[in-house]
Amino acid sequence: MKVVVDEKIPYLQEPLRTIVDDVVTLPASDITARAVSDADALIIRTRTRVGESLLAGSKVRFVATATIGYDHIDVAYCLKHGIRWTNAPGCNASSVCQYVECALRLMQHEGFLSLSGSTLGVIGVGHVGSLVRAMALRLGMNVLCCDPPLEEQDPGKYVFHRMEELLERSDVVTFHVPLTYQGAHATCHLADKAWFYQLRRQPLFINTSRGEVVDTEALKEALRLGLVRQAVIDVWENEPLVDRELLSLARITTPHIAGYSADGKACASQMSLDALSAFFGLPRVSVPPLPLAEGPYDIDADSRRLKASPELFEQLRNHYPIRRE
């Protein structure tokens, strides 16, 4: 049995080699149709687009992405051709919540806002958003939740608010939605020019979901005009390219690492291993114990590194230091 694995997925290769006889690790850029033609399974990240151009004519029967998001997988193609795919929902939710809390605490330390008594608008209250909601309540913040798909599915789970009310009342707005392009609740460019013009309290703007959820040009205009007082940006349209103007306008800018704690990565790897073992009837194996971090998380250091060298986006992401939750 042959499994092709993105070489940047940590804590995975050692246990995988104990149950699979042929494990091939490759950079994401080298996971091509030729490379996977005789593979039985793939374990990937968001940098590998999975669909007909990659899988046509291959032996691949199973694809695991060690990420929450799966917009890089052509789900319809996999379903049509009997290819099982899995993602890792919630794997790094605690990591993203840690990132958001550190951003909020830094902004309070710099006098931007007082957390106690201020209002946080959470757009998307799934795995990540629900933890952010609980964290904000613990910090003494008021929380407004907006999640139309969840509200339709489970209207009694939270007190939900209309987007218009959230934009009127929030001192901080944070996005935790998947990237979707179709349907009544599509999220691509959800935060567009009209959206920003509905803001009433010049909030702190945080995006750790997907870059395309936000219209970059609209966000830059909102920052220049003061509709948004400040921004925390971890995800970017057209990654790994970084909009240099937004980089300079936003207070905190990082290379898509909000979910990159060692704990979150290990959880994603474990979920991928479990799914592969279950599909192929292999023994369950566990990721190795995690190393200790060198110190508490410094979100500002991450921001300084990207601001200094935006051209190193992928390098900063691929060689991210150990960070424990």
Residue 147 and residue 121: Cα distance in Å, rounded?
Answer: 11
* Active site (annotated) includes residue 34: no
85 to 62, 276, 279: CA distances (angstroms): 6, 10, 10
Residue 259 and residue 68: Cα distance in Å, rounded?
Answer: 10
Peptide bond just before 288 cis, omega within 30 deg:
no
Catalytic residue among 133, 161, 176, 210: 210
* Active site (annotated) includes residue 101: no
| Whole-number CA gyration radius for the chain | 20
Q: Would you give the distance in Å from CA 101 to the centre of its chain?
A: 15
Catalytic residue among 161, 256, 305, 317: 256
Closest CA to 92 of 188, 209, 206, 207: 209
Neighbours of 23 (CB within 10 A): 18
Residue 235 and residue 282: Cα distance in Å, rounded?
Answer: 36
Neighbours of 137 (CB within 10 A): 12
In contact, 219 and 250? CB cutoff 8 Å: no
Catalytic residue among 7, 239, 314, 325: 239
* Active site (annotated) includes residue 256: yes
Please, which residues have CB within 8 angstroms of residue 254's CB and are 6 or more apart in sequence? Answer: 99, 233, 234, 299, 302, 303, 306
Residue 220 and residue 162: Cα distance in Å, rounded?
Answer: 25
Residues marked active site are found at: 210, 239, 256
